[in-house]
């Protein structure tokens, strides 16, 4: 079996002092998720909210892009051994990727299937299509997908939750850490209806060049138990 390729580098170009907040072994957010001409590493969560740890050196860009093009797993982890702070990016081989994708898919499917009883609403941010003309107070609806769909997409640490408007059009995506996405999916699978309302809208997050055609919205998600 072909070995995984490992790229290790000292963090540079990130926010001041942020590396001191990262524990050893922390899984990081390699951005963007799609193939790109440059990559950056963030703390887990939405890159639009900040938390940049480092820019990935250009010499690793080609290998990362090739792996993404081929649908292989690429994982970024923070390392702090003896005060030496490093970012470790592991590019999985094709065989190792297939094994890892299956493992992650099974884990997520099991996690989502667990009964969940939400006690309060969730406030979070989603990116909306500028062309859809949405306004504060409008309702959104989580697109209906089987568990298997989300389990498969989780293989790249990027569950994509798509939202519709009242006309059934795709209008937005949830750019939030996996924990929030899991809660929404578990609630849906546990028999809850997601009541989603737009509270506030702003312009595109600064520095995120891949979503200039979108704007950020704060939404409240309430959970209503089906009778």
Residues 155 and 199 in one domain: yes
Residues 156 and 201 in one domain: yes
User: Is 35 part of a structural domain of the chain?
Assistant: yes
Residues 182 and 156 in one domain: yes
Residue 152's pLDDT is 62
Residues 96 and 125 in one domain: no
Residues 88 and 168 in one domain: no
In the chain, the number of structural domains is 2
Tokens of 20: 């001191």
Residues 126 and 216 in one domain: yes
Which band of pLDDT confidence, cut at 50, 70 and 90, is reported for residue 210?
Answer: very low
Q: Identify which of 115-124, 125-134, 201-210 has the greatest average pLDDT.
A: 115-124
Which residue, 45, 67, 100, sits at the end of a domain? 100
d(CA 104, CA 157): 9
Residues 96 and 121 in one domain: no
User: Is 69 part of a structural domain of the chain?
Assistant: yes
Residues 128 and 221 in one domain: yes
Residues 48 and 95 in one domain: yes
User: Is 107 part of a structural domain of the chain?
Assistant: no
pLDDT at 110 over 90: no
Domain that holds residue 61: 5-100
For residue 185, what is the domain's CATH number? Answer: 3.30.70
Which residue, 74, 100, 126, sits at the end of a domain? 100
In the 3-class helix/strand/coil scheme, how is the chain assigned residue by residue? CCCCEEEEECCCECCCCHHHHCCCCCEEEEECCCCCCCCEEECCCCHHHCCEEEECCHHHHHHHHHHHHCCCCEEEEEEEECCEEEEEEEECCHHHHHHHHHHHHHHHHHHHCCCCCCCCCEEEEEEEEHHHCCCCCCEEEECCCCHHHHHHHHHHCCCCCEEECCCCCEEEEECCCHHHHHHHHHHHHCCEEEEEEEEEECCCCCCCHHHCCEEEEEEEEEEEECC
Mind listing the pLDDT tens digit for each residue in 66-106? 998 998 889 999 998 888 999 999 999 999 988 988 888 88
If you average pLDDT over every residue of the chain, what do you get? Answer: 84
């Amino acid at each position: 079996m072909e070995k995984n390729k490992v790229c290790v580098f000292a963090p540079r170009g990130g926010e001041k002092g942020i590396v001191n907040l990262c524990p050893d072994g922390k899984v990081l957010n390699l951005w963007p998720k799609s193939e790109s001409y440059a990559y950056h590493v963030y703390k887990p969560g939405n890159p639009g909210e900040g938390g940049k740890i480092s820019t990935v050196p250009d010499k690793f860009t080609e290998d990362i892009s090739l792996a993404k093009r081929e649908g292989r797993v690429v994982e970024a982890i923070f390392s702090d051994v003896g005060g030496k702070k490093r970012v470790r990016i592991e590019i999985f081989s094709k065989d190792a990727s297939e094994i890892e994708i299956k493992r992650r898919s099974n884990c997520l499917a099991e996690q989502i299937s667990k009964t969940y009883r939400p006690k309060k609403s969730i406030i979070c941010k989603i990116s909306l299509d500028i062309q859809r003309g949405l306004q504060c107070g409008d309702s959104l609806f989580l697109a209906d997908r089987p568990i298997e769909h989300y389990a498969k997409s989780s293989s790249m640490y990027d569950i994509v939750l798509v939202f519709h408007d009242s006309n059934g059009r795709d209008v937005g995506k949830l750019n939030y850490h996996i924990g929030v996405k899991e809660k929404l999916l578990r609630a849906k699978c546990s028999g809850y209806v997601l009541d989603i309302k737009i509270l506030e809208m702003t312009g595109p997050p600064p520095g995120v060049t891949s979503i200039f055609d979108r704007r950020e919205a704060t939404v409240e998600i309430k959970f209503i138990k089906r009778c």
